[in-house]
C-alpha cells in the first residue's frame, strides 16, 4: 500500500508557497496593486475561517451534550469542571508570569524611544471589565444568539444544562440523545470536508499577509519578535514538562499527533481553525470524547496560554518603549488584572489587543503604543494561536488522565489504527 503524505506536510508546503507568492507580489507590484491582489487572494482564507466558524457552534454543542450525558450525573461534570479550571488558572498564571519575567530580562522595548503621543487612543473598544460583566457574559440571554455569535463560553454553559437534563431523564431522554449523537457525527463529517480545504486557506493567508507587508516588516521588528518567540518556546517547554509529569513519555506522541493542528493554527493565526483537528488528535491519543469535548471548549475561553504570555510581554514592551519604569508591585498588580480581564472576552476579535489596550489605560501607559505592534500583530498572532493549541491539547490529555478517561497505550494504538482504517475507507470508498 502506498504511503500517504501526511496532511501536515501539505499545510507546511502551502505555507512556504504562500510566503513565496506573497513576496513575488510585494516585489513586482506597487502598494495599491499588491493590496488589491492580496484582497482577492485572501478570499480563500476568509471563506475557510467562515466555514470553521459555521461548524464550531453545532460541533461544540453536540459533542459536549453527548459527552456530559454519558457522564451520567452532575457530580462527574462538576469534578471535571473543577479539575479543568485548576489546570487552566495555573497555566494562565505561569504564562503571565513568564511574559513578565522575560520582558524584564530581555527588555525588548529599550532603545525604541517612542515620543509621547498627542492622542492616546487607538480606536479599540476597551470597555471596563468587571466581575458583574463577566458573569452576565457567562449566561446566554438566548441560545440562538449565543450560537449565531459563536459565544463558546455561553454555548458551553447551555450544553452543560442540556446534557445534565438529558442524563436526568434516563430512558425518556435516550431518543433525543441519539438525535444529538447523530448530529455530532454529521458535524464531524462536515468538519472533515471543510478541513480538506485547509492547505488552500493556509496558502492564501500567508500570500496575502506577505504581499501587503513584505518581509521587511519582520526585519524592522526582529528583536521584539525574536524575544517573544523565544519566550513562547520556553512556555512550550514548561507546558510539555508539566504534561510529562502526568503523561510520561506519551506526551511526545501527543505532540506528534497535534503537529497538523499546530501548523494550521500557526498559518491561519486562528485557534478556532485548529479545533476540529485537535479533537481528532485527542481521539487518536486515547482521550475519551466525553472528556475532550468538555475540556477543549472550556479551554478556548479559560486556557489561552499564548495570549496570556503576550499580554504581559507586549504591555511591558510598550511601557519600556515610552521609557516608563514600572515597579514590581505595579507589575504584579497588572498581572492580577490581566488574569481576571482576559477570562471575560472569549470570542472578541483580536482579543489580546483589546485586553492590552484596556490594561494600558488602567496603568496610565499611552494606548497609542499599541499601534507600534499592530503592524506585525498577524505574525505574533500565529505564535499565540499555535501555543493555545498546544496548551489546550495537553490540558485535555492531563485532565483525562486524572479522570481515568485516557486509554492505555495499547488501547490507544488500536483506536488510532481504527481511525486510520476508517480514513482509508473514506478516501478510497
pLDDT tens digits, 319-332: 888 888 888 988 99
- Report if residue 16 sits inside a domain: yes
Amino acid 5: pLDDT: 66
Maximum mean pLDDT: which of 156-165, 212-221, 419-428: 156-165
Q: Say if CB 392 and CB 287 are below 8 A apart.
A: no
- Report if residue 1 sits inside a domain: no
Amino acid 127: pLDDT: 47
Q: Say if CB 87 and CB 398 are below 8 A apart.
A: yes
- Report if residue 34 sits inside a domain: yes
Which residues are CB-neighbours of 100 under 8 A, at least 6 positions away? 312, 313, 316, 331, 334, 335
- Report if residue 138 sits inside a domain: yes
Residue, of 228 and 408, whose pLDDT is higher:
228
Query: Which stretch of 119-123, 247-251, 260-264, 419-423 has the lowest confidence by average pLDDT?
Result: 119-123
| pLDDT higher than 80, residue 347 | no
Residue, of 307 and 368, whose pLDDT is higher:
307
Between CA 289 and CA 297 the distance in angstroms is: 12
Q: Can you give the pTM of this predicted structure?
A: 0.73
Which residues are CB-neighbours of 161 under 8 A, at least 6 positions away? none
Q: Say if CB 211 and CB 41 are below 8 A apart.
A: yes
Q: For residue 12, what is the domain's CATH number?
A: 1.10.3860.10
Cα torsion for 334, 336, 339, 345, to the nearest 10°? -60
Q: Which of 85, 49, 99 is nearest to 276 (CA)?
A: 49
Amino acid 276: pLDDT: 87
Q: Which of 252, 230, 242 is nearest to 402 (CA)?
A: 242
Amino acid 272: pLDDT: 79
Maximum mean pLDDT: which of 251-255, 350-354, 380-384: 251-255
For residue 287, give the DSSP letter: B
Which three-class secondary structure state does DSSP give residue 371? helix
In the chain, how many domains are there? 1
Residue, of 62 and 232, whose pLDDT is higher:
232
- Report if residue 2 sits inside a domain: no
pLDDT tens sequence across 158-207:
888 888 888 888 888 888 989 988 998 888 788 778 878 888 888 888 88
Cell numbers for 175 = 431518543
| pLDDT higher than 60, residue 65 | yes
Q: What count of other Cβ atoms lies within 10 Å of the Cβ of residue 178?
A: 11
Amino acid 371: pLDDT: 65
Q: How confident is the model at residue 1 (pLDDT cuts 50, 70, 90)?
A: very low
Cell numbers for 244 = 510529562
Which domain range does residue 125 map to? 7-428
pLDDT tens sequence across 353-408:
767 776 777 778 877 677 667 667 778 888 999 999 999 999 999 999 998 888 88
The 3-class secondary structure across the chain, one letter per residue, is: CCCCCCHHHHHHHHHHHHHHHHHHHHHHCCHHHHHHHHHHHHHHHHHHHHHHHHHHHHHHHHHHHHHHHHHCCHHHHHHHHHHHHHHHHHHHHHHHHHHHHHHHHHCCCCCCCCCCCCCCCCCCCCCCCCHHHHHHHHCCCCHHHHHHCCCHHHHHHHHHHHHHHHHHHHHHHHHHHHHHHHHHHHHHHHHHHHHCCHHHHHHHHHHHHHHHHCCHHHHHCHHHHHHHHHHHHHHHHHHHHHHHHHHCCHHHHHHHHCHHHHHHHHHHCCHHHHHHHHHHHHHHHCECHHHHHHHHHHHHHHCCHHHHHHHHHHHHHHHHHCCCCCCHHHHHHHHHHHHHHHHHCCCCCCHHHHHHHHHHHHCCCCHHHHHHHHCCHHHHHHHHHHHHHHHHHHHHHHHHHHHCCECCHHHHHHHHHHHHHHHHHHHHC
Between CA 40 and CA 36 the distance in angstroms is: 7
Percentage of residues of the chain with pLDDT beyond 70: 83
- Provide mean pLDDT across the span 56-69: 81
Cell numbers for 418 = 481504527
Amino acid at each position: 500500500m502506498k504511503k500517504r503524505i501526511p496532511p501536515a506536510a501539505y499545510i507546511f508546503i502551502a505555507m512556504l508557497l504562500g510566503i513565496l507568492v506573497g513576496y513575488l507580489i510585494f516585489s513586482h507590484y506597487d502598494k495599491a496593486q499588491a493590496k488589491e491582489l492580496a484582497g482577492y487572494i485572501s478570499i480563500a482564507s476568509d471563506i475557510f475561517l467562515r466555514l470553521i466558524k459555521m461548524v464550531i457552534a453545532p460541533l461544540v454543542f453536540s459533542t459536549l451534550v453527548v459527552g456530559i450525558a454519558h457522564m451520567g450525573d452532575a457530580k462527574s461534570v462538576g469534578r471535571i469542571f473543577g479539575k479543568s479550571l485548576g489546570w487552566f488558572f495555573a497555566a494562565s498564571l505561569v504564562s503571565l508570569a513568564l511574559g513578565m519575567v522575560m520582558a524584564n530580562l530581555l527588555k525588548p522595548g529599550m532603545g525604541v524611544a517612542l515620543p509621547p503621543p498627542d492622542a492616546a487612543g487607538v480606536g479599540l473598544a476597551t470597555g471596563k471589565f468587571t466581575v458583574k460583566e463577566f458573569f452576565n457574559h457567562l449566561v446566554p440571554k438566548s441560545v440562538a444568539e449565543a450560537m449565531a455569535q459563536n459565544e463558546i463560553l455561553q454555548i458551553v454553559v447551555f450544553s452543560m444544562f442540556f446534557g445534565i437534563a438529558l442524563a436526568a431523564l434516563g430512558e425518556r431522554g435516550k431518543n433525543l440523545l441519539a438525535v444529538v449523537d447523530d448530529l455530532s457525527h454529521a458535524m464531524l463529517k462536515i468538519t472533515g470536508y471543510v478541513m480538506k480545504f485547509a492547505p488552500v486557506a493556509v496558502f492564501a493567508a500567508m500570500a496575502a499577509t506577505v504581499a501587503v507587508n513584505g518581509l521587511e516588516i519582520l526585519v524592522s521588528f526582529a528583536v521584539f519578535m525574536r524575544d517573544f518567540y523565544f519566550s513562547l518556546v520556553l512556555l512550550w517547554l514548561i507546558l510539555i514538562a508539566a504534561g510529562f509529569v502526568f503523561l510520561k513519555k506519551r506526551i511526545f506522541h501527543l505532540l506528534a499527533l497535534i503537529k497538523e493542528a499546530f501548523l494550521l493554527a500557526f498559518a491561519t493565526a486562528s485557534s478556532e481553525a485548529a479545533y476540529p483537528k485537535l479533537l481528532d488528535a485527542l481521539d487518536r491519543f486515547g482521550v475519551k470524547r466525553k472528556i475532550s469535548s468538555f475540556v477543549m471548549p472550556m479551554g478556548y475561553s479559560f486556557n489561552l496560554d499564548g495570549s496570556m504570555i503576550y499580554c504581559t510581554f507586549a504591555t511591558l514592551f510598550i511601557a519600556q518603549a515610552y521609557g516608563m519604569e514600572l515597579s514590581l508591585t505595579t507589575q504584579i498588580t497588572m498581572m492580577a488584572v490581566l488574569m481576571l480581564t482576559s477570562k471575560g472576552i472569549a470570542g472578541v476579535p483580536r482579543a489580546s489587543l483589546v485586553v492590552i489596550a484596556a490594561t494600558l489605560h488602567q496603568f496610565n501607559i499611552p494606548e497609542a503604543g499599541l499601534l507600534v505592534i499592530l503592524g506585525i500583530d498577524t505574525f505574533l498572532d500565529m505564535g499565540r494561536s499555535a501555543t493555545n493549541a498546544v496548551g489546550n491539547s495537553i490540558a485535555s490529555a492531563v485532565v483525562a488522565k486524572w479522570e481515568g478517561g485516557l486509554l492505555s497505550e495499547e488501547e490507544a494504538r488500536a483506536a488510532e489504527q481504527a481511525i486510520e482504517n476508517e480514513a482509508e475507507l473514506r478516501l478510497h470508498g
